[in-house]
Structure 1
Amino acid sequence: MIHLILLSGGSGTRLWPLSNSSRSKQFLKVLRDSQGNHVSMVQRVFSQIRSVNADLDVTIATCADQEFSIRSQVEGDYALVLEPERRDTAPAIMLACTHLAMEQGADAGDTVIVMPIDSYADQAYYDGVVGLDDAVQSGFADLVLLGVEPTYPSVKYGYIVPGDTEGSPRRVVRFTEKPDGEDAKALIAQGALWNCGVFAFRLGYLTAISDGYLKSGSFDEFRSRYAELPKNSFDYEVVEKASSIGVVPYSGTWKDLGTWNTLTEEMTDRAAGRVVVDGATCSNVHVINETGLPMVVAGLSDAVVVATHDGILACGKEASASIKGLVGSVAETRPMYERRRWGEYRVLDSSAYPGGAKSLTKELVIASGRQISYQRHSYRSEVWTVVAGEGEVVLDGLVRQVRAGCVVNIEVGHMHAVRAMSSDLHIIEVQHGDVLTEEDIERFGDFWK
């Protein structure tokens, strides 16, 4: 059996405003499958993994913020390992391998292959896990990478330099991280390969390394002491310190769809939402409008225009790879729209007043039959006004029926929850206090079982 660990992380700020801390790029349904259905990067990857002719045991390593998105998009059997905090890829892989060893009963001699969950590649890329397994089990090297044969001298990727240019697998002699254009050309001439972040090894190899940082008697103990692990990438913390490294070359399509420039190359639809694009004056333009407001785009070339509740982007495609710093200086620190296990919410207004008081207005949509957790807040009060649907509200243990027109006052520290009955329940929520953050929630599970 091959144990496949898929890493799901990152917020995709280079795809702002469509992607943010609560809606990562890998979950955006902007691609299409062979039947023409909209799918996300994650769904596309899982479809390809299920087509691999091998016995694969899949584990997804991610953060708690992405649990709902993964469970709602990925069906079938897989293990989910949640980081207690984000600490980069080295500790995430160590945590997942500890789970394999201590919770899933994997053998120390089994092959583990780590891959990003959002790569855009041909089926042959995923079929390559069989060759990686063969290389590991043959004892060719302690650590075996997958290297992509470059199609151009990219300055965005790291390069793997093998000792020879023929055969598979090959010995690795060194790495070069994001060279300039001339150095990239020279590396390609030497037979260097792009580093696509795929690593293969025996489980015991990695758990021995983990023990050097954190030795524990159980997975729960390991997870509780997660902050003791180095906050570093797997490349820097493990790969560059390894003495026995091999690489299996891959020749075929592989892309990191992490910028609007690369993502739009694979998008079938050039416009989505309430938008009119002037075909006579626009060329190579992609437009996404999630606001519901009318949008007109004219006179643009090689550009992307995106409008969501989190913001508006109008950008040349080539420049889209460099917007991260600009987004950081202007974007709100909290998402304005978010899907949750119980439904969704949208921020309608945010205001600050003299003396430090603040208010935040949301529209909550609790899906039929769903409920928000029984909870309380330490810094804010809330007023709920029901505008559509019927449901039940519990306040400090007392349950009451609510429908359109009902108002519920929730003071600081009071326990509360709500559930929708036979249809979606729409609530306008007004928060008031000095601190208005999503973190100001203490949850006590579901009130209604």
Structure 2
Amino acid sequence: MHTILLCGGSGQRLWPLSGSIRSKMFLQLLPAPGGGTESMIGRVCRQLRQAGLDESLLLVAHQEQTALTQRYTGSKYPIIGEPCKRGTFTAAALGALHLLAAGKAQPEDIICIAPADMFADDDFFRQFHQFEAILADSEAELLLLGTSPSYPSEQYGYIVPVQEDAGGYARVLSFAEKPDASTALELMRKQALWNCGVFASQLSFLLEHLERLGLPVEFAALTEQYPGLPVRSFDKEVAERSTKAVVVRHEGEWSDLGSWDTLTARLPSQVIGVGGLWGECGDSHLINELEVPLHVIGVSGIVAIAGPEGILIADKKDANTIKDILAENSVTEPRYGETGWGSYTVIGRESDGSQLVLTVMLTLLPGHDLPEMTCEHCAKSWMIVSGHGEVWVDGCAAEAAAGGIYTIARGQRHTVRAWSAMKLIEVQIIEAEDNQRRQDC
């Protein structure tokens, strides 16, 4: 069996810490074995490895996040990049066609598709080993993994099974996608399960759906058409159309970490970062990535989240509304991002009409380089804040240490190589007409 781990999604409901540049998969907040913290994607990959499922693991991420995905998974697994985000069905199909084109899978092989943004116990992943036998025994075309709801959630999809068979699975009667609270309660009375977003089938089953939609069944051809494709959900395109589906029940721990309410329930501490909760602050959580202190006094049941992209103070039950607010008030220029080489934070953006001065803090990981580049639209200067490395400008190297200042003219090729962890402040000076050309590119 081959496992395709879907690593897409921007996670706007976890703003301001996640967004289009830093996906929620990479938030280093979950408690790790032996102490410390780990990311969602790091946790899931560790559990797949412990379950003996990592040798056939393929990760699918947005092409701009492949280097970051490698960073958070230790470069241990193959990763392919989506040209753009087109939903779970399209991403799963791209992964399956990659395995087929590379000769790693055949049409009769079993493909398991799973999301990276979940929190489950180790037994959840051990159940994957049963999928091939259950598909054969049930003669089903699709297998899903579900778990018993702990409350009538409006954020999850539901699977309604018929009476369970002796083989540890049940036929699927119907689906319900994110119902209202009263409908969710009625579904629970019918013994419905939360849909965990895990699917297994023969690869040929996915090929049939691609052909039904008039899409190519070759990896290169699908990649070429990718930017023009609509967003398609695996649930809508495959699961809800299947007439021969079975569901396997997981009795242990599972949740989708797609909201501040579900994520904070898994955190090792109520306070992360500078600041504190004071007085009666039951079930409140504070996460602060800024260097300025954040304090909450006498307020229960809230999240107080601060990062370079902004600050969110919300009642936990209402925090998901931030997604709608962001849709109506979109910010085109991100202030923070992570990459394979480190991270960057915009700390100043000043304009007088004729010039834009952009000030950015760059953080480089040890042994990593900034991508070598030539800036045609701006001049810049670097001041090394900490760390040790070297600066290259037009092929000439200079040792870089704290206090060093380097000037790069427009058109000069340049990079920084970090021997130890480095921080540097970059100041870009962009003429107004050049800024317009930069935005148009």
TM-score by length of structure 2 reads 0.89
Tell me the equivalent position of 1:156. 155
Classify the secondary structure of the residue corresponding to 1:419.
strand
CA gap 1:238/1:410 in 2 versus in 1, 3 angstroms = farther
Distance in 1, Cα, partners of 2:91 & 2:309: 29
2:210 corresponding residue in structure 1: 210
Amino acid at match of 1:27: F
Contact 1:112/1:203, CA 8 A, preserved across alignment = yes
Correspondent of 2:359 among 340, 358, 361: 361
Q: Which amino acid in structure 1 is aligned with residue 42 of structure 2?
A: Q
| Cα displacement (A) at 1:107 | 1.9
Question: Which residue does the alignment assign to 1:87?
Answer: 86
What amino acid maps onto 1:127 in structure 2? Answer: R
Task: State the partner residue of 2:235.
Answer: 235
Q: Which residue of 1 aligns with 2:226?
A: 226
Instruction: Summarize the Cα distance change of 1:426–1:54 in structure 2 as closer, same or farther, 3 Å threshold.
Output: closer
**Counterpart check, 1:112 vs 2:111:** yes
- Distance across 2 between alignment mates of 1:276 and 1:54: 41
After TM superposition, give the deviation of residue 139 of structure 1 in Å: 5.3
Q: Which residue is 1:170 aligned to?
A: 170
Residue 141 of structure 1 aligns with an amino acid whose one-letter code is A
Distance in 2, matches of 1:368 and 1:56, equals: 28
Residue 201 (structure 1) aligns with:
201
Indicate whether 1:381 and 2:378 are aligned.
Answer: yes
Conserved? CA contact 1:364–1:429, under 8 Å:
no
Show the counterpart of 2:369: 371
Distance 1:5 1:301, change over 3 A: same
Question: 2:144: which partner in 1?
Answer: 145
**1:307 alignment partner in structure 2:** 306
Correspondence for 1:447: none
Unaligned runs of 5+ in 1: 443-449
Q: Is the 8 A contact 1:390 1:425 kept in 2?
A: no
* Aligned-partner residue type, residue 142 of structure 1: E
Q: Secondary structure at the match of 2:312?
A: strand
Opposite residue 19 of structure 1, the aligned amino acid is S
User: In structure 2, the residue corresponding to 1:96 is in which secondary structure?
Assistant: helix
SS of 1:108 mapped into structure 2: coil
Shift of 1:265: 0.9
CA contact (8 A) 2:117 2:258 kept: no
Q: Distance in 2 between matches of 1:221 and 1:331?
A: 33
- Please report how far the alpha carbon of residue 56 of structure 1 lies from its aligned counterpart in structure 2 after TM superposition: 5.2
- Partner-residue secondary structure (3-state), 1:106: coil
Alignment partner, residue 430 of structure 2: 432
Matches within 5 A, 1:323-342: 323-330=322-329, 332-342=331-341
Write the distance in 2 (CA, Å) between the matches of 1:438 and 1:298. Answer: 48
Instruction: Indicate whether 1:319 and 2:318 are aligned.
Output: yes
Shift of 1:425: 5.9
- Deviation, 1:346, is 1.6
Give me the whole-angstrom Cα distance separating, in 2, the residues matched to 1:259 and 1:202.
32
Deviation at 1:230, TM superposition (A): 4.0
Q: Secondary structure at 1:364's aligned position in 2?
A: strand
Give the aligned partner of residue 446 of structure 1.
none
Q: Which residue identity lines up with residue 257 of structure 2 in the other structure? A: L
TM-score by length of 1: 0.88
Cα distance in 2 for residues equivalent to 1:31 and 1:68:
21
- Separation in structure 1 between the aligned mates of residue 33 and residue 405 of structure 2, nearest angstrom: 48
- Counterparts in 2 of 1:384-399, with a 5 A limit? 384-388=381-385, 391-395=390-394, 398-399=395-396
| Distance in 2 (alpha carbons) for counterparts of 1:342 and 1:56 | 26
Does structure 2 conserve the Cα–Cα contact (< 8 Å) formed by 1:384 and 1:407? yes
Give the letter for the 2:381 counterpart. W
Deviation of the 1:32 alpha carbon: 1.0
Q: Deviations over 1:151-180 (max 9, x none)?
A: 222222222122324543222222222222
Amino acid aligned to 2:8: G
CA distance in 1, matches of 2:108, 2:45: 25
1:273-330 deviation line (CA, Å, top 9, x unaligned): 221332x343222112221113332121111111111111111111112221223445
CA displacement 1:329-358 (0-9 Å, x = unmatched): 456333322232333322111133336x53
In terms of mean alpha carbon deviation, does 414-423 or 178-187 score higher?
A: 414-423
The CA RMSD over aligned residues, in Å, is: 2.7
**SS of equivalent residue, structure 1 residue 301:** coil
